Amino acid sequence: MKIATWNVNSLNVRLEQVIEWLNKYKPDVLALQELKQEQNKFPVNEFEKINYHAAWFGQKTYNGVALIAKNEMTDIKYGITDFDDEQRRVISATYNNIRFICVYCVNGEAVGSEKFIYKQKWFDALNKHIIYEKNKYGNCVILGDFNIAPADIDVYDPQKWQGKILCSDIERECFNNILTLGFFDGIRELAPQEQLFTWWDYRMNGFKRNLGMRIDHILLTPQLMSRANKFGIDTNARAAERPSDHAPVWIECD
């Protein structure tokens, strides 16, 4: 089984790239973030044409998440359990007896800002949602854009970014709190010492200069982690014409 995630930064702009990527890599499940589409504008027919099913939670201009799968998904849930939030950032569904939780986590803007305080509250609510989903469904995968670089190895210049947004101790604690619920950081487990990036800023020739961060993650429960044997970060997609600032990330499990 191949599991993938990709912040596409506007599905309107990058639908053709997503379809091409699905045809080439053929993942069982692909999680998408930053659709930037209203719910009724999602191009479900384009995915059906290539024999994929879709569940999506759209929002005009901002946010939006989706799960794309080879077979039909069940028990689709929109948003976070018991958290009233107008921002559409989470969708959950069951596929092949595995619960998938696609997340587009809050950026936070700057440490200490109002948006940063919201980010902390949002992660507290996400933790409760994960606990509920894991208790109910067992095997879970949490995947998406977390807007957190978990460790210095995940940042091109740790000193420059020390204590700043995406890299602060508070945010890294939020990430680790999820792991303590019974999850492994799949990519880091498969490549413990390798510096890997999934996002490069559009500015300052960030991609060409490899000024990146690893902020897109696939978290696996122990049973799934024991079956994981291969991963990839598709930098070719980031190098394409009019790319997202994120690259697709994938893991294969036996």
Q: Is the pTM of this model over 0.95?
A: yes
pLDDT, average across residues 102-117:
98
The span from the CA of 173 to the CA of 177, in Å, is 6
Residue 62 falls in the annotated catalytic set: no
The span from the CA of 96 to the CA of 100, in Å, is 10
Which residue segment(s) compose the domain that 42 sits in? 2-253
Picking from 149, 254, 245, the residue whose alpha carbon sits closest to that of residue 203 is: 245
pLDDT, average across residues 202-230:
97
Contact 146, 217 (CB under 8 A): yes
Q: What is the number of alpha carbons within 13 Å of residue 233 lying toward its C-beta? A: 26
Residue 145 falls in the annotated catalytic set: yes
pLDDT interval class at 181 (50, 70, 90): very high
Q: Decide: helix, strand or coil at residue 212.
A: strand
Mean of the per-residue pLDDT values of the chain? 98
pLDDT tens, residue by residue, 53-71 = 999 999 999 999 999 999 9
In the chain, the number of structural domains is 1
Catalytic annotation, pick one of 28, 52, 145, 185:
145
Contact 32, 65 (CB under 8 A): yes
Contact 149, 213 (CB under 8 A): yes
pLDDT, average across residues 155-167:
98
pLDDT, average across residues 192-221:
98
Report CA torsion sign: 210, 215, 218, 219. Answer: positive
Other CB atoms within 10 Å distance of the CB of residue 42: 19
C-alpha distances (whole Å) from 137 to each of 24, 58, 76, 132, 182 are: 31, 24, 12, 9, 13
The span from the CA of 18 to the CA of 133, in Å, is 28
Catalytic annotation, pick one of 28, 52, 95, 104:
104
- Domain with residue 25: its CATH number is 3.60.10.10
Beta bridge partners of 229: none
Q: Is 176 left (phi over 0), alpha (psi -120 to 50) or beta?
A: alpha
